[in-house]
Amino acid sequence: MTGAPADSRALRVAVLGSGVVGSQVVRLLGEQADDLAARVGAPLEIVGIAVRDVTAPREAAVEPRLLTSDASALVRRADIVVELMGGIEPAKTLILEAIDAGASIVTANKALLAQHGPEIYEAAEAAGVDVYFEAAVAGAIPLVRPLRESLAGDRVERVLGIVNGTTNYVLDQMTMHGLAFDAAVAQAQALGFAEADPSADVEGFDAAAKAAILASLAFHTRVPLAAVAREGITGITADDVTSATASGHVIKLLAILERTDGGVQARVHPALVSNDHPLAGVHGAFNAVFVEAQAAGELMFYGRGAGGTPTASAVLGDIVSVARHRVHGGQGPTESTYAELPIATPDSAVTRYQVRLRVADRLGVLAQVAGVVARHGVSLEAVRQGRVASDGIAELIITTHQAREADLAATVLELSGLEPVHTVDSVLRVEGS
Amino acid sequence: MTGAPADSRALRVAVLGSGVVGSQVVRLLGEQADDLAARVGAPLEIVGIAVRDVTAPREAAVEPRLLTSDASALVRRADIVVELMGGIEPAKTLILEAIDAGASIVTANKALLAQHGPEIYEAAEAAGVDVYFEAAVAGAIPLVRPLRESLAGDRVERVLGIVNGTTNYVLDQMTMHGLAFDAAVAQAQALGFAEADPSADVEGFDAAAKAAILASLAFHTRVPLAAVAREGITGITADDVTSATASGHVIKLLAILERTDGGVQARVHPALVSNDHPLAGVHGAFNAVFVEAQAAGELMFYGRGAGGTPTASAVLGDIVSVARHRVHGGQGPTESTYAELPIATPDSAVTRYQVRLRVADRLGVLAQVAGVVARHGVSLEAVRQGRVASDGIAELIITTHQAREADLAATVLELSGLEPVHTVDSVLRVEGS
């Protein structure tokens, strides 16, 4: 049996899941109990921790008497339900049951919010309870409160985020130590920064879910996960990294959210970032989110985007907020969708590009390439000739001004069929300028 | 006469002051009226703008019919009072009158909050109204909400902040372009980054007020302005900057807030920051605040710390928050002082130091200097000999491990009396490692 609160003023907290984050949340709720009670105005008492297998070995902080496999019963006798199981089901059903029973919700579940957020927010608003989710995006970094509260009087124009620590670690290792992609992934796996199957990270799925959540917050518009254009980093080679370094850039996997004439643009892809840009200095598994707002100008938020303890910090901050509302009254911001901006199609994105080609090293090739580019309405910023290999093949690096994705794609298609062009080695967007 | 609200649901906003920030707040309240109404749930209506001289020329956005010189009458017919006059009086009296009349307060007044915050917070709590002040520290950068809400479940250990844009601009110009201090200040003045009398900035008074506010938030303890040890940047020379660059550092004016064994330490002084540290990359007039929390780890917040429009962004975010409370119920966090940590004396500060000396270039001098340092219980990390001038005087650069300020001061005193020591050119703390 799980316990009932000993102190009648205590707020009953149910924790769903006892993995890397859940066990740290339980530990900190115990260790910081006095501080938390002072900040909330009432003690917090864990009334149960729902797990799949109550007999599995656990961290010392997780008291066996609190474990239960009946999550559905647990959420109905809690004031605050902290969902840290991840995945869509049973998390979604349990959260809706908890809301139905009048509990406030704290969750770190980005996949669930990106796919079913609106349904959950609507249920919470109807029931008059809070849904807080600071930990769902960029781990410990305060980002949800700044976007939905601090910038509530401003107009966000653009968000550029490094929101996946695994891919940032991999790209950083490739940049700093010249590792190949596979070697960098293997190292990330050895250090616990990447899963055995790294595809959710390296293919950009994790970043895309966070992008959908951030876009919805930034633009007061529902941005479904399906609207986020997504491209991972599996195509990035050591040559791409070397070439980026040579041109004063680093390659980062970015979540890019923009307010454009055509509506909200949301995309995740690797991009060249100038060494001068604050995001270029974000190393290892750190995350950072760069925000451009009309009045505030440029802002950046930096910190640990993953890990049990950092993520637990964000979860605890949310627990304090929703607990204070239960003690002192009031409610946090609800979903804001009034702007209802259209969602722009991915191919309407306008950005700068860098294209690396290998071409025959002979007179007139550069003019020929420049002619193709111009014919597609793409404006050249620079053409730089790189190394000439012993076989008479030269590297040509083209940087464009802002161009439409469709025009660039047509340009690349024609270039790759051009007689003196041997290969198109890479096409990368240049962001942050 | 100033207007009464046309819409009965409208919240009445009174703006005190129509300077650089006030005029931008008024402009944005007008331009973003529809967005703000959607976010708040009710329209915001400016019922008056209090100024000293109603006949002075104003920005176009400031409607003459709204101007009044009777601030005291104005605050009594407002739901939200936005204080942007600065200074202690009449701002303090007007805010207390407004609270007494039941209005919520938004202010950017760091000097007032650092000196009289507790009186204002207590009055507000007794009246059940909000006091929000995001713009008082680091302009547009969301910092108050992250500290008092996002990190409410964590334990802040240390804050290192670049919280004064003028001094950061001056030091950055000295670093990047080799300017002397006076020339850099003159340039800052010419560009409008520094006042005609720059002492509030360059002597560290402005940063000290922000340090007191941040320390109180971070440690749930009242930290009075008088407890902040303060040293400005007027003693920083071009030689200091050159020497810092040579050792892989930049010089920054930092607000440093630490939880130590002896209690809360709060100090403002120039310090050497390693080029690897995220704060080293903060250029120009930008601000950034680096926070170390027990669970979250390292966080950084970066953006524009001053300027009418960026500061107005923070003010508007606060207006939306307090307005939402008036429409939907609830109240923001009140002053949190439960921890009541002792305030440590400045000379108990423990940090690393770099000391530059000019000494006779002869055998045994280094050993003699090292002996003095050791005798005061200070542990050496490195001794590096710099340039030897044509007159046989050598530069000696000593870096210590963590040392007590009192021990270091005694060391420097003895060193400066030592026969082979010609001068002690500088003593700088090394922070952020």
Answer whether A151's CB lies under 8 Å from A296's CB: yes
Res B262: pLDDT: 87
Answer whether B399's CB lies under 8 Å from B382's CB: yes
Write out residues 32-61 of B within 8 Å (CB-CB) of A.
Answer: 32, 35-36, 38-39
For residue B132, what is the nearest residue in chain A, using CA coordinates?
A150
Identify the band that residue A5 occupies on the pLDDT scale cut at 50, 70 and 90. low
In this predicted model, what pLDDT tens digit does every residue of A210-229 receive, in sequence order? 999 999 999 999 999 999 99
Res A1: pLDDT: 40
Closest by Cα among B21, B214, B22 to B114: B214
**Is B161 in a helix, a strand, or coil?**
strand
Query: What kind of architecture, by CATH, is found in domain A349-431?
Result: 2-Layer Sandwich (3.30)
Q: How far apart are CA A405 and CA A423, in angstroms?
A: 20
Which run of H or E residues covers position B292?
Answer: strand B286-293
- Residue in B38, B152, B317 nearest the CB of A154: B317
- CA terminus-to-terminus distance, chain A: 58
- Residue in A38, A149, A150 nearest the CB of B338: A38
Res B6: pLDDT: 58
Question: Could you tell me what percentage of chain B is helix, strand and coil, using 3-state DSSP and rounding each to the nearest 5?
Answer: 40, 25, 35
Closest by Cα among A294, A323, A410, A304 to A9: A323
Structure tokens at B430: 């090394």
Write out residues 131-150 of A within 8 Å (CB-CB) of B.
Answer: 134, 140-142, 145-146, 149-150
Q: How far apart are CA A400 and CA A430, in angstroms?
A: 9
Q: Is the Cβ pair B304, A296 closer than 8 Å?
A: yes
Q: Is the Cβ pair B329, A331 closer than 8 Å?
A: yes
Q: Is the Cβ pair A317, B153 closer than 8 Å?
A: yes
Closest by Cα among A122, A65, A73, A134 to A98: A73
Identify the band that residue A44 occupies on the pLDDT scale cut at 50, 70 and 90. very high
**3-state SS, one letter per residue, for B234-262:** CCCCHHHHHHHHHCCEEEEEEEEEEEECC
Res B389: pLDDT: 81
Residues of chain B with C-beta less than 8 angstroms from the C-beta of A28: 153, 295
Q: Is the Cβ pair A154, B316 closer than 8 Å?
A: yes
- Residue in B154, B314, B324 nearest the CB of A313: B154
Identify the band that residue B5 occupies on the pLDDT scale cut at 50, 70 and 90. low
Identify the band that residue B16 occupies on the pLDDT scale cut at 50, 70 and 90. very high
Q: How far apart are CA B205 and CA B224, in angstroms?
A: 13
Q: How far apart are CA B78 and CA A129, in angstroms?
A: 30
For residue B29, what is the nearest residue in chain A, using CA coordinates?
A153
Residues of chain A with C-beta less than 8 angstroms from the C-beta of B140: 293, 295-297, 299
Answer whether A274's CB lies under 8 Å from A235's CB: no
Residues of chain A with C-beta less than 8 angstroms from the C-beta of B325: 330
In this predicted model, what pLDDT tens digit does every residue of A351-404 receive, in sequence order? 999 999 999 988 889 889 999 999 999 999 988 887 788 888 999 999 999 999
A283 touches chain B (CB under 8 A): no
B161 touches chain A (CB under 8 A): no
Res A390: pLDDT: 80
Answer whether A149's CB lies under 8 Å from B320's CB: yes
pLDDT at B8 over 90: no
Closest by Cα among A156, A98, A141 to A336: A156
pLDDT at A94 over 90: yes
Res B2: pLDDT: 44
CA angle, A40 then A44 then A46, to 5°: 155
Query: Treating both helix axes as pointing N-terminal to C-terminal, what angle do B205-219 and B110-127 enclose, rounded to 10 degrees?
Result: 30
Our answer to whether residue B110 is catalytic in this structure is no
**Which among A15, A39, A134, A315 is the top mutation candidate for probing chain B, defined by the most B β-carbons within 10 Å of its own β-carbon?**
A39
- Residue in A35, A134, A313 nearest the CB of B293: A313
Cβ-proximal residues to A85 (8 Å cutoff; 6+ apart), any chain: A16, A17, A19, A22, A50, A91, A94, A109
Question: Could you tell me what percentage of chain A is helix, strand and coil, using 3-state DSSP and rounding each to the nearest 5?
Answer: 40, 25, 35
Answer whether B266's CB lies under 8 Å from B257's CB: yes
Cβ-proximal residues to B213 (8 Å cutoff; 6+ apart), any chain: B110, B113, B114, B117, B133, B136, B137
Q: Is the Cβ pair B300, A302 closer than 8 Å?
A: yes
- Name the least confident of A317-321, A429-433, B87-91: A429-433
- Residue in B150, B295, B315 nearest the CB of A309: B295
pLDDT at B142 over 50: yes
Neighbours of A245 (CB within 10 A): 15
In this predicted model, what pLDDT tens digit does every residue of A102-111 receive, in sequence order? 999 999 999 9
In this predicted model, what pLDDT tens digit does every residue of A13-28 receive, in sequence order? 999 999 999 999 999 9
Write out residues 62-101 of A within 8 Å (CB-CB) of B.
Answer: none
- Residue B28 distance to chain A (closest CA, Å): 8
Q: Is the Cβ pair A299, B302 closer than 8 Å?
A: yes
Res B1: pLDDT: 40
Closest by Cα among A316, A311, A323 to A130: A323
Q: Is the Cβ pair B38, A314 closer than 8 Å?
A: no
Q: Is the Cβ pair A38, B304 closer than 8 Å?
A: no
Numbered ranges of CATH 3.40.50.720 in chain B: 11-139+309-328
Structure tokens at B111: 């000097």
In this predicted model, what pLDDT tens digit does every residue of B179-230 receive, in sequence order? 999 999 999 999 988 999 999 999 999 999 999 999 999 999 999 999 999 9
Numbered ranges of CATH 3.30.70.260 in chain B: 349-431
Give A150's DSSP letter: I
Average pLDDT over residues B383-389: 82
Q: What is the pTM of this model?
A: 0.93
Q: Is the Cβ pair B142, A146 closer than 8 Å?
A: yes
- Residue in B278, B295, B317 nearest the CB of A150: B317
* C-alpha torsion angle, residues A402, A406, A412, A414 (rounded to 10): -130
A298 touches chain B (CB under 8 A): yes
Q: Is the Cβ pair A321, B36 closer than 8 Å?
A: no
Written as one string, the DSSP assignment of A381-423 is: EEEEEEEE-TTSEEEEEEEESSEEHHHHHHHHHHHHTSTTEEE
Q: How far apart are CA B348 and CA B406, in angstroms?
A: 7
Write out residues 342-401 of A within 8 Å (CB-CB) of B.
Answer: none
Cβ-proximal residues to A232 (8 Å cutoff; 6+ apart), any chain: A167, A199, A202, A203, A204, A253, A270
Residues of chain B with C-beta less than 8 angstroms from the C-beta of A315: 153
For residue A314, what is the nearest residue in chain B, using CA coordinates?
B150
Which run of H or E residues covers position A238?
Answer: helix A238-246
For residue B38, what is the nearest residue in chain A, using CA coordinates?
A338
* ipTM score of complex: 0.92
- Residue in B152, B294, B331 nearest the CB of A317: B152
Please count the residue pairs, one from chain A and one from chain B, whose beta carbons lie less than 8 angstroms apart. Answer: 197
Which run of H or E residues covers position B411?
Answer: helix B405-417
Q: Is the Cβ pair A336, B296 closer than 8 Å?
A: no
Query: What kind of architecture, by CATH, is found in domain B147-305?
Result: 2-Layer Sandwich (3.30)
- Residue in A152, A316, A321 nearest the CB of B39: A152
For residue A298, what is the nearest residue in chain B, using CA coordinates?
B303
**Residue that wins the pLDDT comparison between A362 and A70:** A70
- Residue A387 distance to chain B (closest CA, Å): 32
pLDDT at A259 over 90: yes
User: In which region does residue B333 sit, left (phi positive, over 0), alpha (psi from -120 to 50) or beta (all else)?
Assistant: beta
| CATH code 3.40.50.720 for B11-139+309-328 | yes
Answer whether B355's CB lies under 8 Å from B409's CB: no
Q: Is the Cβ pair A152, B331 closer than 8 Å?
A: no
Residues of chain A with C-beta less than 8 angstroms from the C-beta of B304: 296-299
- Residue B292 distance to chain A (closest CA, Å): 10
Q: Tell me the residue ranges of DSSP E strands in B134-285.
A: 156-162, 229-230, 249-260, 263-274
- Name the least confident of A319-328, A379-388, B264-273: A379-388
Q: How far apart are CA A309 and CA A313, in angstroms?
A: 6
